[in-house]
Amino acid sequence: PLVLGIESSCDETGVAIVRGQELIGNAVASSLEEHARFGGVIPEIASRAHLEAMVPMIDEACDQAGVALADLDAIAVTSGPGLAGALLVGVAAAKSLAFALDKPLYGINHLVAHVGVDVLEHGTLPMPMVALLVSGGHTNLLLVRDICSDVVSLGQTIDDAAGEAYDKVARLLDLPYPGGPHIDRLAAEGDPRAIRFPRGLTSGRDMQRHRYDFSFSGLKTAVARWVETRRAAGEEIPVADVAASFQEAVVDVLTRKAVLACQEHGATDLLVGGGVAANKRLRTLAEERCTAAGITVRVPRPGLCTDNGAMVAALGAQLVMAGAEPSPLDLATDSSMPIELVHV
């Protein structure tokens, strides 16, 4: 089926068109730079930017794909989770298109779409699979038995998201926002064993009670304390070593728990998605540990890991092919949409 997907849950306005598992048009505008000076996404600015970018992105996706709106078989849109005002812009656009064109509408879960996007890169998803979603707003371990109807949460962060930890530590080291890519680059020149930072929720009672959960705020505090102590003593900060050691603590826990989840749930495949999946050390360590455990790693290319319309269109197409029930035209946004709800 020919499906148009709209994404507007955070700071990216993404519109894409897929034909089955083939991506034929993909337009993304980001308001990232407008938020940079605030050090985080400002919801009101994001909503306004979505309003301005939505129609141009729809036009661009159609141009790239060489299709007219009338050719579409369905419209898919992120209806949650995300920023309420931002979601509203995408959902309003999708409803208008669906109504005007008389096409079925699918309100879908943003997090599940981060998993479903991989069909565009590696083809049909093997089931069951475990998915590790790591971004600025999320850190989730999911068990996917059927991408269209059976997704359960195994665990998540109990405080900061992985990307949020990267951004906060980057700020501490006076690096620009968003800090993930800067730490990634600096870490490559540092020694990951220079400083032993804590691995949250990995031992004793914590591990028993939070087997598949994550915690990064203790790590962030440990890095802050380490840096402040040196600064107060007038010592120079070995930035590359701090970056490498911090990063090692993050990716060590992420990959360890992801492999464990695969083993304990009979999954032979691990998908890693979300903006932090662009991280080089995470990709390497996931590959290394999964290979050792006989697990296949699937990581979409970086452009498909960050928020985009392709992920929404891809999941929409899978729902159409599975014969899923379309959403009502009075589809509402749900800023805290539960992971178990693949679509509404």
Label the pairing between strands 74-80 and 22-30.
Answer: unpaired
Strands 150-156 and 2-7 come out as unpaired
Query: Least separation, in Å, of the C-beta of 184 and ligand ATP?
Result: 4
- Residue among 5, 104, 136, 192 that touches ligand ATP (CB under 6 A): 136
Can you tell me the distance from the alpha carbon of 181 to that of 275, in angstroms, rounded to the nearest whole number?
Answer: 10
Angle at 117 between CA 114 and CA 119, to 5 degrees: 145
Q: Pattern of binders to ligand ATP over 5-24, x per CB under 6 A?
A: ----xxx-------------
Residues 82 and 308: beta-carbon distance below 8 Å: no
Helix axes 43-65, 84-101, angle to 10 degrees: 30
Alpha-carbon distance of 330 to 190, in angstroms, equals 53
Q: Are strands 74-80 and 105-109 parallel, antiparallel or unpaired?
A: parallel
Residues 163-202: x where in contact with ligand ATP by CB under 6 A, - otherwise, as a string: x--xx----------xxxx--x------------------
**Residue 334 binds to Fe ion (criterion: CB under 5 A):** no
| Residues between 260 and 289 with contacts to ligand ATP, criterion CB under 6 A | 274-276, 278-279
CB 320 within 8 A of CB 73: yes
Among the listed residues 26, 79, 135, 215, the single contact to ligand ATP using CB under 6 A: 135
Q: Which one of 10-18, 48-56, 125-133, 138-146 is the stretch in contact with Mg ion (CB under 5 A)?
A: 10-18
* Minimum CB distance to ligand ATP, residue 276 (Å): 4
Q: Which of Fe ion, Mg ion, ligand ATP, none is residue 326 near (CB under 5 to 8 Å by kind)?
A: none
Question: Which does residue 299 touch among Fe ion, ligand ATP, Mg ion, none (CB within 5 to 8 A, set by kind)?
Answer: none
| Dist CA 264 CA 247 (whole Å) | 26
Spatial separation of the C-alpha atoms in residues 162 and 213, rounded to whole Å: 12
Q: Which two tokens stand for residue 323?
A: 């014969």
Bind-site residues for substrate? 133-137, 167, 180, 184, 279
Residues in touch with Mg ion (CB under 5 A): 10-11, 307
Site of interaction with ligand ATP (CB under 6 A): 9-11, 82, 135-138, 163, 166-167, 178-181, 184, 274-276, 278-279, 306-307
